[in-house]
Each structure stands twice: as C-alpha cells, then as structure tokens.
Amino acid sequence: MANSRLGMMGAPVIVLKEGTDQSQGTPQLLSNIGACMSIVTCVASTLGPRGMDKLIVNGRREATISNDGATILKLLEIVHPAAKTLVDIARAQDAEVGDGTTSVVLLAGEMLKECKPFIEEGVSPHTIIKGYRKAALLATQKIRELAVTIDKSDKAAFRDLLIKCAGTSMSSKLIVSQRPFFAEMVVNAVTMLDAEDLDESLIGVKKIPGGGMQDSMLVRGVAFKKTFAYAGFEQQPKSFTDPKILCLNVELELKAEKDNAEVRIDAVSEYQAIVDAEWQIIYSKLEAIVKTGAKVVLSKLPIGDLATQYFADRDIFCAGRVPADDMKRVIQAVGGQVQSTTSDISPHHLGSCGRFEEKQIGGERFNLFEDCKAAKTCTLILRGGAEQFIAEVERSLHDAIMIVKRAIKNNAVVAGGGAIEMELSRYLREYARDIKGKQQLIISAFAKSLECIPRQLADNAGFDATDLLNKLRMTHAQGHKWDGIDIDSEDVRDNMEQFVWEPALIKINAIGSAAEAACLILSVDETIKNEQSDMGGGPGPKLPPGAAGKALKQRGMPRR
C-alpha cells in the first residue's frame, strides 16, 4: 500500500497533451520584450519627415511601398503572439485617430526596453505596471493642460489651423513635395461633409494612373468610372441640370427571362407567342421607368443594348453594372432607395442632384453627380505615375483626412517634432524626484522612454541625436515648452511658432495605447502553444520521404 502510494506521489502528472510547448517565468517575459523590440526596429526608420519607406512584396508578388506604420505591420503578417499586441495598437490608433501609428509602436517598444533592466534585477512586473499606469495618467493630464485651443468662431483662423494640421501629417509622406496643394484639398473635402457627423466614408477616392500629382482633383459630389456601355450609349445625353435619379437592382436585358425559365411547346405559333411575351415584359419595365420621370437610371445589374437604345431615344442616361460601393455612395448623396422592381415606383423613391455630367478625366470617362441634395459628399480623384505610388498617396490622404476630422471635433493642438514628448519627459522627471521607493525609478524610466520620438526623428534625418537631445533638455528646463527638432536647419526651434501642429488627441491616444500595450506584455509570464494533432485536420508532424505509406499501413488504412 505504501509503495503504491509512493508510486502515485512520485509519478509525473501529465495535464497537457503531448507536443505542447510551454515556457514561463522571467526568460519568457524577456523573450516577449525582445520580440516587440524587433518589431519596433522594422518601423522606426519610417518616422518623421526624413523617414524611409518600406517595399513589401506579398505571396502573390504584389509590391506595396509605404511608410505608414499600421500598413507595414499589417503586411508583415506577424505570428509572434506577444508582438501581435503592437500590431493591434497600431490598427487601433489608425482607426481612432488616423495618424501616429509609427509613434505608438515606437513608444510601446521603448517603454518595454526601459523596464527590461528592472525585470532582469527581479522587480515584480506588477510594480512596473503600477508605475507606468500612473505615469501615463499624469502625461495625458499634462497634455490637456498644455494644449492650445483654437477659437472656432474665427473661420479664417480655424481653417488655417486645419491646413497646418493636415500639412504636419503629410510631412513624413511621399506627397510632401505637394503638401500645400493636398492640405488645401483635404481641408476642402472634410469641410464639405455634414458638420454633425463628419462621416469620412462619404469621401470617395478614385485612382487614375498617369499624369502628375498636381493633376489630382476634388469633385464636389460623387464620381465613378463609366461602366460597360452597349450600342446606343453615345446617343444618350451626357449632362443634366437638376435631374431625377432612379437606382435599380433590376436586369434590363432580353436574355433575362429566357435564362430563368423552361417552356415546352407543341407548335411554332406558341414559340412566337413566347418571344412576343419576352419583348412585352422588357418593354413594360422600360415604360414604367420612363413614367417615373427619371433622367438618370443606374442599376447594379446589366442594362442591355435594347434598353440603352430605348433610353437614348427618350433623352435618358443609363448605366448598368454599377459597383455596389459606388451605388451605396450615390444613394447616400442623392437620396431615394434602390428598387428591385420597376412597378409601384413613387416620387420619394427617386433621388436628385444639382448637376449630372459625364466627363473625360485622364484616360478614363467619369460620371459626376454634383451639388447633391440628400447628403454632403465629395470624391478625390488621384493621379500619379505608378499604381503603388497612387496607393501610397491614398494612404497619406486618409491620415490627413482623419487628422482634420479630429481637429474639427477637438480643436486643441500641441507642437509636433518631439516638442510635447520632451516637455512631458521633463515634467515626469521632476514629479519622480518628489516620490519615494521603486516608483521613482519606474516613472523616470517612463519619462526617458518618451524621448525616443525626438531621438528617432533626429536619427532618421542623419543628425547628431545626442547633441540635439541635450539642447532640448536644456531649453525645456529653461521653460521653452514647445521646443522640438528643426529638420530644416539641424537644430532646435519653437515648433508652435513654426506651425508644426498636431491634434492633442493623437498624443493622448498614442501614450495611453502604448502604456496599455506595455502593461499587457509585462503581465504575461507564460506562453502555452498547443500543437494540433495530424489526425485533427491541422498540420501534423512532417514525415520523411517514403514514410507516409508506412504510417498509413501501420494504422490499417488503405494506401491510395
């Protein structure tokens, strides 16, 4: 009995299934920090006006050139579980604010780097987490105190603020050479939207290769590429003033009835009756559409050559096979509803706009709906040499649009170029001097981690980062709270006076997200990887060549 009890106590208890990888403790925590720091190295060189771009080629040999942090991390397809946290905060920053995606990843990585020595010396991660959360709270409160609020009542000054914010967000992008042109375009686009909700999905973007960047244009309404056209299309009018617009989900082609039915006949006369009925059905549909008074007819499904010619004879414009997203924006802009039948169409089902026109832009023809009645909307038509270049212009403009939107909703700004980070670092260092214990060291480490933004800006520009950071520490200690890196003269300057402005919300969101991500990674001390078995449909252990047949034979399974 005693032996059996000893045997039971001494035998290892297997809880996890065979093949499970389990690693824990301080080495695991340090490994996670190392993985996150390697992610930071990938995106660090993209920060700032002199940041470099990344060329990423995916499995289908499609190339993407970008310096947008969220885009790069999404394309890298990171599999490390802890490092994925940085991808998540970059995406959250992109969705919530639109810019500062590289900054948030850099800050999170630097916070982890600064606390690594404490972990190695045996400080509890919870002590570090407590200090970081306290420091992040103090930093965000300080940003709100320091932020400069611009008066919205002065329209000219407020518009000037929006242009400065849009220009600052473009300073690190490919379109920096045309910054004034695009900043003006972005501010015009956002101010066209309804002031209440500022729904950025109502700003459409169309890309046309060819021409220069300055050939890009802003359409005050909806624009989409001319759809596939049938015979008779050129006879249709291409311009209307104040037309009624009918949007359909109906196929207007003769073949529609023939393909969807099976009929058995005994005489030729019966076949003729069926043909006549098909013609009668489509003519009744077309007559019903004409009676609505609509001058522009759009459909998600094809509009055939008979219908196209019929509309052309009655001075009606039509377009079939309109893409779903374009149709959705047209409905939002002009009003009305998509109809799935041509019967019982009432006047309130139709939309309207001030002017409709078909126009040649570059090598493409576009249908333009301007002065829309239901919702304020606009479309950016982007031009450029290569498709990858235009795609990067689109990403840059998305950042600028989100920045302008946030600046309208929260009109508080701070100086960029590392100025606000240096001021927060100085404030937290001074705060740390007045407290006791380990928290003093941890808040000081948080303060030091904020300096990574001006240091990386200087490094990417090829400047002496140590010299510039020393100057910045000195000027901020003397009370110059808006001093930051001057990229143009390799020196420091008052960036608030030089109009390098960013919405305070970007910095609040970035510091809060980075601190939360760092705390999340510090709170993990064990990783368990559960391997899938080869019989469970997942990738099993790899067999050597020729061993597959033997494995099947041993299991009693027939070899195919």
**Exposed/middle/buried for residue 48 (C-beta within 10 Å: 0-12, 13-18, 19+):** buried
Question: What are residue 246's DSSP bridge partners?
Answer: 297
Dist CA 256 CA 293 (whole Å) = 25
Tokens 């965000």, residue?
140
Give catalytic status of residue 101 as yes or no.
Answer: yes
Tokens 């901020």, residue?
476
The answer to whether 293 and 317 are in contact (CB under 8 A) is no
Q: Are strands 54-57 and 63-66 parallel, antiparallel or unpaired?
A: antiparallel
Number of C-beta neighbours around residue 518 at 10 A: 31
Determine which one of 46, 71, 85, 101 is catalytic.
101
Determine which one of 399, 459, 483, 486 is catalytic.
399
Tokens 């414009």, residue?
317
The answer to whether 367 and 40 are in contact (CB under 8 A) is no
**Exposed/middle/buried for residue 322 (C-beta within 10 Å: 0-12, 13-18, 19+):** buried
Dist CA 330 CA 335 (whole Å) = 8
The answer to whether 502 and 168 are in contact (CB under 8 A) is yes
Q: Are strands 378-384 and 203-209 parallel, antiparallel or unpaired?
A: parallel
Measured CA to CA in angstroms, residue 414 lies from 69, 148, 149, 226, 548 at distances of: 21, 6, 9, 44, 65
Determine which one of 46, 68, 168, 377 is catalytic.
68
**Residue 548: CB partners within 8 Å, gap ≥ 6?**
none
What is the distance of C-alpha 519 from the center of its chain?
Answer: 25
Written in H, E and C, the secondary structure of 456-473 is HHHHHCCCCHHHHHHHHH
Give catalytic status of residue 68 as yes or no.
Answer: yes
Determine which one of 46, 64, 85, 102 is catalytic.
102
Measured CA to CA in angstroms, residue 325 lies from 201, 203, 204 at distances of: 10, 12, 10
Tokens found for residue 485: 């890196």
Residues annotated as catalytic (active site), given as ranges: 68, 101-102, 399
